Structure 1
């Protein structure tokens, strides 16, 4: 295939609230990001994905937008945004904005007008339905627990919100909504941004008639994702977006697509589909769901390696030569990768973080690095509910412990400690000084106490650090088309200790071997006949012996 710039790129995700505070108010901001751009450049990343910085009441940390064309004051102003963007471009870094158009804030002008009556110009900008027998229009359960419907007395109707009541869903059946979205996209693209990460974009097309969703035994609400994800007009909407907006700019696009299948993804990301460049799918991060379906993702079970390998391999095979993968372990919605998929103990954190990085960065697709992942930052391991801030986590506790009494308090706290989004949202570790160099004030959210030993200052100048291992991986991707474009071949899918695979391109083969255990194991994939060892996370190579969490990558010419 013809290589596109975004296929060769590595993306660094910035969660602005927790990245760098410049003015001492305890909240990260645009001036702080500008200050730290050389760090991102030093890592070797090509693109920054910036989580929402728009004006917002912040009920869901910026994913409830009240004004798409204004900067949230706590982050700065438009001049500071433009300075940051110009500085990034000067350094050779591109910028993806977060596009959140499945829903807005209930404080957005559109919704404030829509809720007033059934006959105003904005009345159909959102999804309104009459009560059915005095109750909600259907049985849909919100991603943030509870019903997806909230009653508005002024209209004597319910409005739909797949997430929080403060996040009403836009009505994409209304062409005026399309025009509004295209206009706001052009607003940012004309400022010079280089593309969009599109929040839950697979949910914008709702099924005709809004039918009830399937319901797990004993569940109060139906599984909304089962009926809403990848709706009937999604391809039409994305194609129109490409035709009206994206095709007129040299941009990169990635759609977050809960519920996506590999087969369906080809229609969105196909190299000739004229919709999106790639999608975020959740097959691998959605593993180990609790056997009690009422609990959804809430669990603390370790991921089975055979299931993880299958989830990643299925997507490698399905999109090879047809579409394009995004590669990620964690982000602002996922716990820290080394705590979930590796081993965050003092003994093994370093090598297992490098092993996970090797596994991911040698696959076909565009890798995403979430702030702090390149340092091997870990889950914070909270033990008390009052330590949490995340709306999803607090709602889940309330629903599963207080209301439905599905689990007891200690069990739910274990689940939160393992998989809450708050694990990824603690401030960035810059150094071992007070507040980790993140702020001179009081941080908006408590830091992980291990910042005194896990921080950028300690790692940037240490040759064998996790940070510098990421630099090596990124440099390899930039210099080897084999890593970017090579076909994928999984080895021994039933091996529950080692994830090994090959990549093939233009007569060359890459052999990647990763030990996912704390045991020493032996594996022979003919690595002794390789022309070159490209990288490994131990200083020496013991041939067919693989020490705990050891990774090795070989090149055959």
Structure 2
């Protein structure tokens, strides 16, 4: 087992001693460790922030400091001021932090929003995208900034020195060449990045918490784009559906009813884990954890992004009951709390997360009685044990599933997600029914003559289903996935 540390160096806590010193005086040696700017004033003489950038947690990205009479930048919470990477002592301190943990034996880092560390030093106003608010997304000026790869090169030297692993969290990156500069093997920057395109797929036009729509072909197109690009250009993918900032994949991507929860969980595992790249499985994903209950009241939510959005909605549209109901539905679908409920260890009180007389920091998902780690480990047909099977298959057929190319099959279908992985003359098909109905798939019309060998099936043993996939018409049960040599 290897240990990765979470390296959060775009910002710190406002309780960090660096920031306490920084805000104590404009003359303090730590003043330039953070991004401080004087106020602007409108024609009426009213104080305004330095620009119109919006915080990722709602409202202005600037906070007024009464003591030193300037604003500081916080792209996230007001309690999370952004570090100023233009200031050399900041970079030196980050490098020392990395070496400290690597010397302790850490094997590498997950780097939080690492592509925000280089910002356009003009700090211009962002173009108006949402006319309903003065605060606009300034990612054009702080994501993938002008000195980003200079900074990455410095990080990469340390990582290479320790033969350490790195995966960078990089929102707002759709430029393939920008990604390649970060992860191409001979660039010596990062090993891989977390791309955000597929986890923004259900966002509204202006707002994460507005209703958004997507089709299966959208999701397939995202994966095809990055699978083929990385393979052709000596890059590497980080594969994920869930993390601490995202809702649960059974709800978000499969949109499965409770009846097919297990089948959907296994199907998603198949589709994700057999692609090219490194699979990341988030806590609870391997046991089929779902989103928080639709019945949750607002006082159950802890997600700052969600709560700030709700309070702003109540302030600006207090009587718009339809908007309130719509927002509540979207919170249940997209709140970060979905990935943060206590881990469901057992059917004991509080899901075994803490003692029966204690209260967890947030409510446990009430379905823990049925879906918990203890029950899943014991059940040979559970999602947990299926994950073990699919990862075992990936390891057994390493040439195909690690080093093989990727080709999308049945591209235009809104019901089937299928792709092949091929290494030299070895070729495997990964085929999934993305619906709750039984489908018939014509393998011949999609360039697959027959299954030479079934390797894995989400319902039954590979041996017991091989006859079903021996012809050209393949019947697929709800959310059924099959992996076969073709």
TM-score for both structures, normalised by structure 1: 0.80
1:277 positional shift: 0.2
Tell me the residue number matched to 2:429: 511
Cα contact 2:313–2:324 (8 A) shared by 1:
no
For 1:125, which of 25, 30, 33 is the aligned residue? 33
Consecutive unaligned residues in structure 1, runs of 5 or more: 1-92
Cα deviation digits, residues 454-483 of structure 1 (max 9, x gap): 011111121111000000011112222210
The separation in 2 between residues aligned to 1:358 and 1:231, in whole angstroms, is 36
The separation in 1 between residues aligned to 2:349 and 2:121, in whole angstroms, is 55
Q: Which moved more, 1:138-147 or 1:257-266?
A: 257-266
Identify if the C-alpha distance between structure 1 residues 344 and 444 changes in structure 2 by more than 3 Å, giving closer, same or farther.
Answer: farther
SS class of match (2:199) = coil
Q: Which moved more, 1:103-112 or 1:490-499?
A: 490-499
Tell me the residue number matched to 2:485: 555
* Structure 1 vs Structure 2 CA RMSD: 1.5
Cα contact 1:142–1:224 (8 A) shared by 2:
no
Cα deviation digits, residues 482-514 of structure 1 (max 9, x gap): 101111111122211111111111211111111
Tell me the residue number matched to 1:465: 382
For 2:160, which of 218, 234, 247 is the aligned residue? 247
SS class of match (2:186) = coil
The separation in 1 between residues aligned to 2:310 and 2:27, in whole angstroms, is 39
Q: 1:273-284 alignment to 2 at 5 Å? A: 273-284=187-198
Q: Say whether residues 1:217 and 2:143 are aligned partners.
A: no
Cα contact 2:265–2:288 (8 A) shared by 1:
yes
Cα contact 2:201–2:213 (8 A) shared by 1:
no
1:263 positional shift: 2.5
Q: 1:305-320 alignment to 2 at 5 Å? A: 305-320=216-231
Q: Say whether residues 1:438 and 2:353 are aligned partners.
A: yes
Cα contact 2:34–2:81 (8 A) shared by 1:
yes
Tell me the residue number matched to 1:425: 340
The separation in 2 between residues aligned to 1:351 and 1:272, in whole angstroms, is 41
Q: Which moved more, 1:510-519 or 1:217-226?
A: 217-226
Q: Say whether residues 1:390 and 2:311 are aligned partners.
A: no
Q: Which moved more, 1:103-112 or 1:436-445?
A: 436-445
The separation in 1 between residues aligned to 2:359 and 2:37, in whole angstroms, is 45
1:346 positional shift: 2.5
Cα contact 2:117–2:148 (8 A) shared by 1:
yes
Consecutive unaligned residues in structure 2, runs of 5 or more: 42-46
Q: Which has the larger radius of gyration?
A: 2
Cα contact 2:254–2:264 (8 A) shared by 1:
yes
The separation in 2 between residues aligned to 1:135 and 1:305, in whole angstroms, is 44
Tell me the residue number matched to 2:61: 148
Cα contact 1:300–1:418 (8 A) shared by 2:
no
Tell me the residue number matched to 2:453: 532
Cα deviation digits, residues 142-175 of structure 1 (max 9, x gap): 0000101111123221110001111000000001
SS class of match (1:501) = strand
1:225 positional shift: 2.1
The separation in 2 between residues aligned to 1:157 and 1:96, in whole angstroms, is 37
The separation in 1 between residues aligned to 2:342 and 2:380, in whole angstroms, is 24
The separation in 1 between residues aligned to 2:163 and 2:286, in whole angstroms, is 28
Tell me the residue number matched to 2:150: 236
Identify if the C-alpha distance between structure 1 residues 516 and 302 changes in structure 2 by more than 3 Å, giving closer, same or farther.
Answer: farther
Tell me the residue number matched to 2:107: 194
The separation in 1 between residues aligned to 2:57 and 2:450, in whole angstroms, is 53
Tell me the residue number matched to 1:408: 323
Identify if the C-alpha distance between structure 1 residues 193 and 233 changes in structure 2 by more than 3 Å, giving closer, same or farther.
Answer: same
Tell me the residue number matched to 2:271: 359
Q: Say whether residues 1:175 and 2:88 are aligned partners.
A: yes
The separation in 1 between residues aligned to 2:117 and 2:311, in whole angstroms, is 28
1:381 positional shift: 2.1
Q: Say whether residues 1:447 and 2:364 are aligned partners.
A: yes
Tell me the residue number matched to 1:269: 183
Cα deviation digits, residues 319-349 of structure 1 (max 9, x gap): 1142110000111000011111124432100
SS class of match (1:330) = coil
The separation in 1 between residues aligned to 2:288 and 2:151, in whole angstroms, is 39
1:248 positional shift: 1.2
The separation in 1 between residues aligned to 2:39 and 2:104, in whole angstroms, is 44
The separation in 2 between residues aligned to 1:531 and 1:219, in whole angstroms, is 58
SS class of match (1:510) = strand
Cα deviation digits, residues 195-254 of structure 1 (max 9, x gap): 0000001111111301111222223211122332111111110101112x2111121100
Cα contact 1:500–1:511 (8 A) shared by 2:
yes
Identify if the C-alpha distance between structure 1 residues 116 and 380 changes in structure 2 by more than 3 Å, giving closer, same or farther.
Answer: same
SS class of match (1:222) = coil
Larger RCO: Structure 1 or Structure 2 (Cα < 8 Å, ≥ 6 residues apart)? 1
The separation in 2 between residues aligned to 1:381 and 1:156, in whole angstroms, is 45
Cα deviation digits, residues 3-24 of structure 1 (max 9, x gap): xxxxxxxxxxxxxxxxxxxxxx
Tell me the residue number matched to 1:164: 77
Q: Which moved more, 1:312-321 or 1:143-152?
A: 312-321
For 2:404, which of 482, 486, 499 is the aligned residue? 486
The separation in 2 between residues aligned to 1:285 and 1:438, in whole angstroms, is 28
Show structure 1 runs of 4+ deviating over 4 A: 404-407
1:392 positional shift: 1.1
